[in-house]
Amino acid sequence: MSKLCVAGCSVSDYVHIKQTYGELLGNKLGYEYIHEGAGCGSNYRMWRKLSLYIKNEFLTDKDILIIQYTETTRNEFWSMFGDVKRNFEHKIADDSYDSGIIIRYKHQAYDWQPTIPERKFFKDYETYFLNIDFSFEQFDANNFMFQNMLKQQNIRAIFLKTTRIGPKHNHLIEPYLKYSFIDESNRIYENNLSEEDHCHFSQLGSNRLADKLYDHIKMLGWLDA
């Protein structure tokens, strides 16, 4: 069975909804759904996860990827405090490595770290070691390399450009420029999680995006592949 893999941040995750647009789209396609949307997730997390999936042939040219990029300043780090209890609301935990765990950084993430060293590290990182222009330069270089890897492996990938969140610019090479999809659904109130939250999808918004992406995939001719 072919797979649909969606990688993104909380925009593509289960944030107060029962089904993400990715899960709904996978059902419509009849594909196995691989969920890599993650609260507080970074572009680095997406590149790491997807590149290893492709390297290990878990994802191939028979599958479809949807990449929803997020803020370029986000990052991920290894922490030795793998034995600390964490919950979904913290949105900081990922894979375990040895006795540690991967924690996720975004702006002001130091507010919800469960240990003093993690809080201090994120606070110092944001205050002294983070530059927006340099973060974008890193994103631009990694994005270029990532797309060329996808192209070399003949991977079908849709870069989801959404006005909800993401980099100020996202340079796409062919054929991914042609494959890309623009989502401006947050301009309609009922597509959003709440009046205050225009970043995350309501269930209706998630349903609608799944339908639009299905039509987009059909237009690309991938349903006949």
pLDDT at 205 over 50: yes
Provide the pairing of β-strand 93-97 with 100-105: antiparallel
Q: Are residues 44 and 80 in the same domain?
A: no
Same domain for 59 and 158?
yes
CA–CA separation, 11 and 40 (whole Å) = 10
pTM to 2 decimals? 0.95
Structure confidence by residue, pLDDT tens digits, 12-29? 999 999 999 999 999 999
**pLDDT tens for each residue of 181-203:** 999 999 999 999 999 999 999 99
* Residues 120 and 219 grouped into a single domain: no
Tokens read off for 117: 């060293």
Asked which of 128, 145, 172 is the last residue of a domain, the reply is 128
Q: Classify each residue of 11-35 as buried b or exposed e, where b means 16 or more C-beta atoms within 10 Å of its C-beta.
A: bbbbbebebbbbbbbbebbebebbb
* Closest by Cα among 92, 98, 54 to 74: 92
pLDDT of 91 higher than 80: no
Give residue 90's domain range: 75-128
Beta-strand pair 156-162/64-67? parallel
Total domain count for the chain? 2
